[in-house]
Each structure stands twice: as structure tokens, then as C-alpha cells.
């Protein structure tokens, strides 16, 4: 036999060997661990869930010695609330790869989800033995000890998390340390920790809340008020957690509407509405018959994207589906209607909402929202009729009196407007909108002392109300009190810096103080914000010409 033939035979043998090696797992029975999780009954499962679990089960059966395949199987089960099967799969993965931290962390996560705090803590500590710098485990263990009031241990883990570079754990770790100090009533330490945190994350509410509590405990009332004011300007209401790869994987493979809606809610609270809507839509696909999901989508769209016509249209579609699924529960309708009117809407969207409300015209609440719709569409007589009907149904409704007062004010009937605004405030002293409207109406009548009293009361309730500060600034300006007007305009501009009228008012007050350069800068800012602003143009012209107003 020649050399070429030998080479061909050798190559063929090698090829057959490789093929045989590849086919062995399919041709020979594979020994599964005794505790391998049985595939659950998927008869009633959705096609997507059935396909996911069958594929994960098949892969794990094909590779029973692979910790990765077993772990993926566990994640698929946990994500879809098959907790017993998930526990078995994670235990096998952990046996196969005892030095891999992620399988200990998976078991900690599973025990957290099933409410077994003792086992959760055990597996978190095991995770950190294998990977001491794993941020999610450090923070969860800190939280666990904090709940148990074991503050030294909690502080230890929070501090480790806070020192991790580029992990997303610095913020929640530092905030955790602040919470520990507050629990210990070490208020100076709270201030020391939270001041730099509030400066670095000025958009986040919780640090300001801790600062307010600390300053109040220390008797520093002015600083407590300042912390409250700054907190009112924040957009995020919870401290965002660091990225958690396991949570991301669980969400990605979940067909559980409960898990998905919970995740969407968290994303919404930490200022990620786009991602929240993506996850919520997946929840709707998983359980299209759950009205709470459609209500969440509608609320999120109106809250974060209410000024976008396409978002308003989708929100109304989602609201309609929510009401179809649960026709006896009208709370989502009234809640969505409140959200709807917080930003101007196209007439077509307003008509759609009105049509939905009219389907429930027998409900007492309907008249108020039909009045809001008519107001939005400029139908003053219809709005007045609906508000009157609302008042018959709910005679002590502060909001209705406020709306009637606005209609009278638009019609030039200021005395009637004042009467209704006063009634609104009397019925609800916390109705700040009515109190502001009352102040403006009183200023129209030239009743400056009473208007200023109302504005002072309003600012005691909501010291960060920009409109109230501006209104007071103009009241002082009209009464030739620029020294009092200037700080009011400046304070209001802290909360609403892009208000052209306020910059004009501040410029005018500064001009009265003979502060020409400062006045000019404010008037130019007013014109930048609103180029067609005749009053600002005229005042600036007079300043530049050196003439008095």
C-alpha cells in the first residue's frame, strides 16, 4: 500500500473518530444526577415559556456535567417561578463548579425570592468568599444585616461596596452608610456622609430626605428647609441599585408577568421609563388579560411622555384595554384622566378621553373630568355645566370650586372667582393651586395685603413653588418694593430657571435698584427665552439708552 493510501485511511479514521465522539452524547444514554429537576407539566404554559423550558431542559440533559447548562436551567425555572426545580438545578451547578461564585449567588437570589432570609444570608456570604468584590452581594448582605438591626455588620458591607471603583455600588453603598448613621442617631455623621452625596447626585431624593431628618434632629431648621426644597426638585425617588447580571438574565428569560411588572416598576422609579415600557410590554404579552399591566403602561406613558401625541394615543389605548378587562373598577380611568391633563394634549386625544369618560357618565366623578375635557377644548359653557353637575354630585369638592373660579376669572368676573377660590381653599387648605389662583385674583383687585398673606401661607406649605415666588415678586414689584421683589424672583428661578416672565420681573426689579448691568443681563435672558417679548424689549431699550422707565 502506497503512502498516499495510508494518509487517506488515516484521515478517514480520524474523521470517523471525531464524528463518533460528537455523536456519543446522542447515541448513548447519559447518566443524570439523582436530584435532576423533573420537567414540570407545561400543558397550560404559553408557547414561549414551553419552548424556553424544554430547550433548557434538553441542553442540561445533554450536558449533565456542565455547570453552565445546569445554571441556565435554574435561571429559566427561577425566572418563571418554578422554585423547587430552580433550587435543584442550582445545587447541581454548585456541585459541578464549587469555586464559581455565581451559583452561590443564584441560590442567594432564589432564597431571597422565596423569603428564606437565613439561607439567603448564608449564600451571600459564600458568594463573597468566592468573589469578595461582587457588588450586588455586598449590598444585599448589608441590607440583610440592616433589617436585623445588626448595624456594625451592615456598615462593614456597605463600606466595602462604597469603595468599589466603577461598579455602580458607590452610591447605594454610601447611602447605606448614611442610613446606618441615622439608625444610630449619629446626625453629624449623616450630614458628613449625605452632603457630598447630595451634591454629586442632586437629582436623587433619598439623600436629601436623610439630610432633612438630620438637620431637624440637630435643630438646624433653615438647613432642614433647604434640604426639603432641594429634595422637591429631584426626579429620582429611590437609590438605583448596581447592575445585577443575574437579575438581567432572569428578566430576559421571564414569561412571568408578576416579575416583569415588578421590574418595570423599579425601572420607572429610577428614571428609566423607556426600559420600563419595554419590560411592561413583555409583561402584557405574557399575560394580556392582566388589567394592572395595561394601567401601568398608560400611567408611565402619561407621566413621562405626556406631551407627545403618539404616547397619549397609546396610553388611551392601554386605558381602554384595562377598562375592558375590569369594567367595574374605574379608579384607573380617574387616575389616567388626572395624569392626562397635566400636559396639553391634541384635540383629537382629548376627544378620545372624553368619549371614554362618557361611557361612564353615571359615575359622580365623570362630570369633573368631562369639565376638564371641555376646558381643554375651549368649550367654556360645557365646562361650566359639567362643573356645576360635579358640584351637585360632590358638593364639598375643593377641586371643582377651583375650576369654577377659573371659569369666572376668564370671564372677567373676578369677585365671583374670588368667592369660589376662597371656598376651594376653605374645603382643602392644602389645595395649593386654588390658593395661588386666589392670590392672583386678589392682586387683580388691588388687594395686595391679602394676596401677600395667601402667598405666604402657600409658601409655608410648598416652599419650592416657583409660581408662588414669581407671583409674590410681581406683587412687590407693582408696589415699588424691589428689595423684596429681587429675592423672590431669584428663589423662584432656582426651581424654574427657564421662565421668561420671571427673568423680566427680576430685570425690572434690578433696574429699580439701579443695578444696570445685572438688570440688562436678566432682560437679555428673558429675550433669549422669548424673543418676541415687547415689555422686556422696551425695558432693555430704556436701560441701554440710560432713561428711566
pLDDT at 17: 55
Comparing CA positions, the residue from 279, 272, 289 lying closest to residue 325 is 289
| Position 10 confidence tier, pLDDT thresholds 50, 70, 90 | low
pLDDT at 464: 84
Which ranges in 445-481 belong to alpha helices (H)?
448-461, 466-478
Collapse the DSSP code of 485 into the 3-class scheme (helix H, G, I; strand E, B; otherwise coil) and give the result. helix
Which ranges in 40-116 belong to alpha helices (H)?
47-62, 67-79, 83-96, 101-113
Q: Domain containing 86 — which CATH number?
A: 1.25.40.10
pLDDT at 7: 52
pLDDT at 28: 47
55 within some domain? yes
Query: Is the pLDDT score of 26 beyond 70?
Result: no
Please report the DSSP string for 330-361 in residue order: -HHHHHHHHHHTTS---HHHHHHHHHHHHTTT
306 within some domain? no
Query: Is the pLDDT score of 22 beyond 70?
Result: no
**Percent of the chain at pLDDT exceeding 90:** 87
pLDDT at 549: 46
Per-residue pLDDT tens over the stretch 323-345: 999 999 999 999 999 999 998 99
Per-residue pLDDT tens over the stretch 75-111: 999 999 999 999 999 999 999 999 999 999 999 999 9
Query: Is the pLDDT score of 24 beyond 50?
Result: no
**Percent of the chain at pLDDT exceeding 70:** 94
61/55 Cα distance (integer angstroms) = 10
First to last CA, the chain: 115
pLDDT at 165: 84
Torsion sign, CA atoms 202, 207, 208, 211: negative
| Position 29 confidence tier, pLDDT thresholds 50, 70, 90 | low
303 within some domain? no
pLDDT at 463: 85
pLDDT at 419: 96
What mean pLDDT comes out for the span 391-416? 95
Per-residue pLDDT tens over the stretch 202-259: 999 999 999 999 999 999 999 998 898 889 888 888 999 999 999 999 999 999 999 9
Please provide the size of the chain in residues.
549
pLDDT at 458: 93
Query: Is the pLDDT score of 394 beyond 70?
Result: yes
547 within some domain? no
| Position 37 confidence tier, pLDDT thresholds 50, 70, 90 | very high
Per-residue pLDDT tens over the stretch 46-64: 999 999 999 999 999 999 9
245 within some domain? no
537 within some domain? no
Per-residue pLDDT tens over the stretch 361-383: 999 999 999 999 999 999 999 99
271 within some domain? no
Query: Is the pLDDT score of 153 beyond 70?
Result: yes
Cα dihedral 66→71→74→80 (10° resolution): -130
412 within some domain? no
pLDDT at 15: 53
Per-residue pLDDT tens over the stretch 437-483: 999 999 999 999 999 999 999 998 888 899 999 999 999 999 999 99
Residue 52 domain boundaries:
47-220
What mean pLDDT comes out for the span 257-264? 95
Query: Greatest CA span in the chain, whole angstroms?
Result: 119
Comparing CA positions, the residue from 306, 254, 316, 313 lying closest to residue 280 is 254
pLDDT at 545: 86
Where in 238-366 does DSSP place strands (E)? none
Q: Which residues of 425-444 are buried (b: 16+ CB within 10 A; e: fewer)?
A: bebbeebbbbbbbbbbbbbe
Collapse the DSSP code of 7 into the 3-class scheme (helix H, G, I; strand E, B; otherwise coil) and give the result. helix
Q: Total structural domains in the chain?
A: 1
Amino acid at each position: 500500500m502506497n503512502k498516499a493510501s495510508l494518509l487517506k485511511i488515516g484521515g478517514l479514521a480520524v474523521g470517523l473518530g471525531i464524528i463518533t465522539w460528537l455523536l456519543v452524547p446522542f447515541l448513548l444514554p447519559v447518566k443524570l444526577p439523582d436530584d435532576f429537576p423533573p420537567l414540570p407539566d407545561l400543558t397550560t404554559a404559553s408557547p414561549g415559556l414551553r419552548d424556553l423550558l424544554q430547550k433548557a431542559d434538553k441542553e442540561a440533559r445533554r450536558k449533565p456535567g456542565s455547570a453552565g447548562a445546569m445554571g441556565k436551567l435554574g435561571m429559566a425555572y427561577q425566572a418563571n417561578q418554578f422554585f423547587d426545580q430552580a433550587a435543584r438545578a442550582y445545587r447541581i451547578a454548585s456541585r459541578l463548579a464549587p469555586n464559581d461564585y455565581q451559583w452561590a449567588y443564584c441560590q442567594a437570589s432564589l432564597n431571597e425570592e422565596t423569603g428564606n432570609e437565613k439561607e439567603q444570608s448564608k449564600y451571600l456570604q459564600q458568594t463573597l468568599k468566592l468573589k469578595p468584590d461582587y457588588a450586588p452581594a455586598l449590598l444585599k448582605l448589608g441590607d440583610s444585616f440592616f433589617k436585623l438591626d445588626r448595624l456594625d455588620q451592615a456598615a462593614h458591607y456597605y463600606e466595602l461596596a462604597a469603595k468599589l471603583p466603577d461598579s455602580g455600588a458607590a452610591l447605594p453603598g454610601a447611602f447605606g452608610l448614611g442610613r446606618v448613621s441615622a439608625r444610630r442617631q449619629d446626625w453629624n455623621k449623616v450630614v458628613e456622609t449625605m452632603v457630598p452625596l447630595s451634591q454629586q447626585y442632586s437629582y436623587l431624593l433619598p439623600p436629601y430626605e436623610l439630610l432633612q431628618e438630620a438637620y431637624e434632629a440637630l435643630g438646624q431648621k433653615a438647613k432642614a428647609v433647604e434640604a426639603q426644597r432641594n429634595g422637591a426638585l429631584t426626579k429620582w425617588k429611590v437609590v438605583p441599585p448596581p447592575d445585577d447580571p443575574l437579575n438581567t438574565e432572569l428578566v430576559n428569560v421571564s414569561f412571568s408577568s408578576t416579575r416583569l411588572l415588578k421590574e418595570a416598576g423599579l425601572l420607572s422609579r429610577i428614571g428609566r421609563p423607556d426600559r420600563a415600557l419595554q419590560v411592561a410590554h413583555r409583561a402584557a404579552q405574557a399575560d394580556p388579560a392582566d388589567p394592572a399591566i395595561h394601567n401601568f403602561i398608560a400611567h408611565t406613558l402619561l407621566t413621562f411622555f405626556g406631551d407627545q401625541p403618539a404616547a397619549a394615543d397609546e396610553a388611551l389605548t392601554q386605558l381602554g384595554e384595562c377598562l375592558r378587562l375590569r369594567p367595574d373598577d374605574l379608579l384607573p380611568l380617574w387616575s389616567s384622566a388626572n395624569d392626562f391633563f397635566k400636559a396639553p394634549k391634541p384635540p383629537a386625544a382629548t376627544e378620545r378621553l372624553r368619549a371614554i369618560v362618557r361611557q361612564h357618565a353615571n359615575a359622580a366623578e365623570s362630570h369633573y373630568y368631562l369639565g376638564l375635557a371641555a376646558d381643554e377644548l375651549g368649550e367654556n359653557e360645557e365646562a361650566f355645566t359639567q362643573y356645576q353637575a360635579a358640584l351637585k354630585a360632590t358638593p364639598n369638592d375643593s377641586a371643582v370650586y377651583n375650576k369654577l373660579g377659573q371659569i369666572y376669572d376668564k370671564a372677567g368676573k373676578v369677585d365671583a372667582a374670588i368667592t369660589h377660590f376662597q371656598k376651594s381653599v376653605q374645603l382643602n387648605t392644602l389645595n395649593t393651586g386654588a390658593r395661588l389662583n386666589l392670590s392672583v385674583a386678589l392682586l387683580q383687585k388691588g388687594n395686595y395685603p391679602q394676596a401677600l398673606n395667601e402667598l405666604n401661607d402657600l409658601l409655608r406649605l410648598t416652599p419650592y413653588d416657583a409660581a408662588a415666588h414669581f407671583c409674590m415678586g410681581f406683587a412687590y414689584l407693582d408696589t415699588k418694593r424691589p428689595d423684596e421683589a429681587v429675592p423672590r424672583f431669584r428663589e423662584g428661578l432656582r426651581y424654574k430657571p427657564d421662565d421668561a416672565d420671571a427673568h423680566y420681573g427680576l430685570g425690572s426689579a434690578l433696574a429699580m435698584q439701579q443695578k444696570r448691568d445685572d438688570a440688562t443681563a436678566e432682560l437679555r435672558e428673558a429675550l433669549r427665552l422669548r424673543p418676541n417679548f415687547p415689555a422686556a424689549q422696551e425695558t432693555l431699550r430704556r436701560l441701554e439708552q440710560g432713561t428711566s422707565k
